Amino acid sequence: MSNQFNPRDITWLSFNERVLQEAMDEEVPLHLRIRFLGIFSNNLDEFFRVRVAGLKRAMDFKDKFITESFYQPPTKILQNINDIVIQQQQNFDKTWKKIQVDMADHHIFIRNAKNLSKNHQEFVTKYFDEMVESNVIPILLNENSPMPYLRDKSLYMGIAMRKKKFQYESKFAIIEVPSKILGRFVSLPDEDNITHNVMLLEDVIAFNLPHIFSYFGYDEFQAHCFKVTKDAEFDLDNDIKTTLAEKIEKGIKSRRKGKPTRFVFDKEMDKALLEFLIRKLNLSKKDSIIPGGKIHNFRHFMDFPDVFETDLKPVERTSFDHPECVGKRITDVIQKSDILLNFPYHHFTPVIDLLREAAMDPEVKSIQITAYRLASNSKVINALINAVRNGKDVTVMLELRARFDEESNLRWKEILEQEGVKVLVGIPNKKVHAKLCVIKKRSQNKTLQYGFVSTGNFNEKTARIYGDHLLMTSDRAIMADINKIFMVLRKPKEDITTALKSCKNLLVCPTSMREKIIHHIDKEIEEAKAGRKTLIIIKSNSLSDRILISKLYEAATAGVVVKLIIRGIYCAVNQKDFKEKLMAISIVDEYLEHARVMYFYNKGSEDTYISSADWMTRNLDYRIEAAAKITQKNLKKEIKDILEIQLNDNVKGRILDKKLSNFYVKSGDKKIRSQIETYHYLREKAKV
């Protein structure tokens, strides 16, 4: 089994290593290197909250299905994970030390409690008194009392206190760092107009420990940070009297009490305090107890203060207008021809404009749209609320089970329903991940329909940093299928299979997408056996579905040319009997490669789809997903051109091989960095 597939979780760690490579790369601008360390840390937190938690749950089962689901026994994978994570943590710490040296070369310093000037000491004391002290709650620890509740995602300081006269007597305490309230970083006053000094909030607290604990008379303090990562899964109860929203709320509360899956601590922590914490948290050798550097919850460094000089930043590549959308009503444009928006290169504005136009158009009768992850101050939602206030019938399929966005989506549900929007909350046991919108208007006794299909969320914030495709269209066949999907979503208790199978143009999960993908691969296999030209190009965030991987193996064995661009999880392994070697790369760069695209040569007809679904079993069999076929010749060429640019990336492309070695692609004399080349390609098209 292990010779045919790489374990999903190990390949995910390999992806996160590619993120760490970006932080290690000295050619990457300094502020982006820091940001990549933050992304690496945030990714790892979620990995332990979800995947490691799932593996630990699976250890309780001996069923063969569990082993097949993970490709290896969970115990073996967990041990492998622990070894890899410890090694990555060491590389992380080395990288952070090197970055700090590079920051110092540019007069940027992170100060701590021991290296403050007199002026900075006065500032920190005053800042603590005015801003911090009221948010600090010290908790004294003792052997006979239960361990206080520790929150996931929070950062804690473990404090060992002593009196110089009684060195062998220690008192322990913990303090939760109030970074959620105050932010993690404190900018210290400039003293020479050259140097930028930044202090972490925990160091502000550490500097003031004698004041905090003055009542006890301690005169020696050791303070080191730690954090606990907890199981983020929650089970929804089967009480039919309870709504899904109520079950989600209950699940969020239960998540806060999840079992620890990882304990990360400063390796310089007082040994007696460390032993105390491990014992009181009921951690054992099977748990991930990971020594690290001084700083934890590094995800906050994604928002490190902007103290960098202009020459340390890359040449700005700002988003630009799609040429077909400049100075025109988007509604009129897409009645004549489809538009393909490529984010983050194109502005997200046309999507908002289309919804705003619909809200104000007296002929528009209804808007139906799916929502998975929304911006915190969503312009999409604002446009939909405006539509309701203008008398439109608005339906939003709001996926309440979008992981880690549950609370946010519950809040949006309340806001939308208060405004009169009809909110759908999905189908039991199936997340709605499709990215769809259909707008209906009645004009001159005719019903017109138009809207959009996307590979990514309708989120104007992430559209600035995620690479995605969005098709704006009035294609009748596509709109008809979107309507069918919404009919299913409106009546989730009825049999969905028959209704979704009636979709003729969209490839839909969980009914037809897998079947149609296999059909396309089979056609390429037939062509290869006949000695004719073949080509399959798949771009996806993840490739882990065993059936489709095996089908790609079959295609490569038959001689089909298969090229893959997989950002993250990649479970395929090249086999010796492949007639045509699988070409597989991963691109990790400034933007998150999020688009899903399928291309099949098909005797020259070049069938091309954009999709919301990754090639994972969960997406194909347990979610509502949709893929739209691109039929307009110029748009098909545009997507193919972008795919070719990405396949030729020899700067940020990494080879996906059996050993997960993450070697960079080395080919050709000319350097091709696909995100920059794609920007220039689309910029030139915008000028035509």
- State the alpha helices, DSSP H only, in 390-475: 406-419
Predicted pLDDT at 428: 80
Once rounded to an integer, what is the mean pLDDT over residues 125-137? 96
- Sort residue 312 into left (φ over 0), alpha (ψ -120 to 50) or beta: alpha
Do 397 and 499 have their domain in common?
Answer: yes
Domain boundary among 287, 312, 337: 312
Sequence-distant (≥ 6) Cβ neighbours of residue 621 within 8 angstroms: 509, 510, 514
What are residue 288's phi and psi, to 5 degrees? Answer: -85, 100
Quote the Cα angle for 183-160-82, to 5°: 70
Whether 312 shows a pLDDT value over 70: the answer reads no
Whether residue 410 is contained in a domain is answered as yes
pLDDT at 1: 39
Q: Are both 142 and 224 inside the same structural domain?
A: yes
CB atoms within 10 A of CB 75: 13
State yes or no: pLDDT of 493 exceeds 80. Answer: no
- Give the residue with greater pLDDT, 629 vs 240: 629
Mean of all residue pLDDT scores within the chain:
91
187, two tokens: 């900018």
Mean pLDDT of 257-261: 77
Q: Looking at residues 371-396, what average pLDDT do you find?
A: 97
2 in a structural domain = no
Residues 379 and 479 in one domain: yes
Mean pLDDT of 411-436: 94
Residues 83 and 176 in one domain: yes
**Structural domain ending residue among the three candidates 251, 285, 312:** 312
In the chain, the largest separation of any two C-alpha atoms, in whole Å, equals 93
Residues 543 and 615 sit within 8 Å (Cβ to Cβ): yes
User: Are 304 and 328 part of one and the same domain?
Assistant: no
- 167 and 187 in a single domain? The answer is yes
Rounded to the nearest 5°, which phi and psi values hold at 381?
Answer: -65, -40
- Is 200 inside a domain boundary? yes
CB 437 within 8 A of CB 368: yes
Check whether 558 has a pLDDT greater than 80: yes
pLDDT in tens, 178-201: 999 999 999 999 888 889 999 999
CA pair distance 388, 420, nearest whole angstrom: 7
Is residue 155's pLDDT more than 70?
A: yes
Considering its fold, how many domains does the chain have in total?
A: 3
Q: What is the mean pLDDT of residues 66-89?
A: 80
Question: CATH number of the domain that 527 lies in?
Answer: 3.30.870.10
Are residue 566 and residue 595 in the same domain, yes or no?
Answer: yes
Lowest mean pLDDT among 127-136, 282-291, 508-517, 652-661: 282-291
Distance CA 338, CA 327 (A): 17
Catalytic residues: 433
Per-residue pLDDT averaged across 322-338, rounded?
95
Q: Over 90: is that where the pLDDT of 133 sits?
A: yes
Instruction: State which residues form the domain around 258.
Output: 8-312
> If you average pLDDT over each of 287-296, 421-430, 604-613, which comes out highest?
604-613
Looking at the structure, tell me whether residues 274 and 333 fall in a common domain. Answer: no
Say how far apart CA 179 and CA 445 lie, in whole Å. 58
Element (H, E) at 140: strand 139-141
Measured CA to CA, the distance from residue 350 to residue 379 in angstroms comes to 12
The residue assigned the tokens 């999709």 is 611
3-state secondary structure of 445: coil
- CATH number where 172 lies: 3.30.1840.10
Q: Does a structural domain hold residue 583? A: yes
Degrees (nearest 5) of the Cα angle 96, 99, 102?
160
Q: Is the Cα torsion angle 474, 480, 481, 484 positive or negative in sign?
A: positive
Same domain, 308 and 345: no
CA 63, 69, 74, 76 torsion: positive or negative?
A: positive
C-alpha–C-alpha distance, residues 283 and 270, integer Å: 17
Treating both helix axes as pointing N-terminal to C-terminal, what angle do 74-105 and 30-47 enclose, rounded to 10 degrees? 160
- Render 146-207 in DSSP notation, one character per residue: PPPP--TT--EEEEEEEETTEEEEEEEEEEE--HHHH-SEEEPPPSSSS-EEEEEHHHHHHH
Which residue among 462, 489, 505 closes a domain? 505
272 domain residue, yes or no = yes
CA distance 595 to 454: 9
- Over 90: is that where the pLDDT of 231 sits? no
In this prediction, what percent of the chain has a pLDDT beyond 90?
73
Which residues, at least 6 apart from 73, have a Cβ–Cβ distance to it below 8 Å?
67
The answer to whether residues 496 and 568 belong to one domain is: no
Predicted local distance difference test score (pLDDT) of residue 134: 96
Q: What is the DSSP letter of 295?
A: -
Token pair for 179: 């970074």
Q: Looking at residue 193, what is its pLDDT?
A: 83
User: Do 296 and 358 fall into the same domain?
Assistant: no
Q: Answer for the pair 550, 516: CB distance below 8 angstroms, yes or no.
A: no
Give me the helices (H) in 305-432, please. 330-336, 349-360, 379-389, 406-419
Residues 454 and 475 in one domain: yes
**CA Rg value for the chain:** 27
CB 95 within 8 A of CB 20: yes
318 within a domain of the structure (yes/no): no
In a domain, 317, yes or no: no
Q: Is residue 668 part of a domain?
A: yes
pLDDT score recorded for residue 608: 98
In 3D space, the residue among 489, 349, 391 whose CA is nearest the CA of residue 432 turns out to be 489
Q: Is the pLDDT of residue 206 over 80?
A: yes
The rounded distance, in Å, linking the Cα atoms of 356 and 63 is 53
- Angstrom distance (rounded) from CA 677 to CA 660: 27
The residue behind tokens 């749209």 is: 369
Distance (Å, rounded) from C-alpha 658 to C-alpha 583?
12
Whole-angstrom Cα distance, residue 599 to residue 609? 7
What is residue 244's predicted lDDT score, i.e. its pLDDT?
73
pLDDT band of residue 65 (cuts 50, 70, 90) is: very low
Strands 166-176 and 139-141: antiparallel
When pLDDT is cut at 50, 70 and 90, the band that residue 372 belongs to is very high
Tell me if 387 sits within 8 A of 419, measured CB to CB.
Answer: no
pLDDT of residue 215: 84
Say if residues 615 and 633 touch (Cβ distance below 8 Å).
Answer: no
Q: CA torsion sign, 664 to 667 to 671 to 677?
A: negative
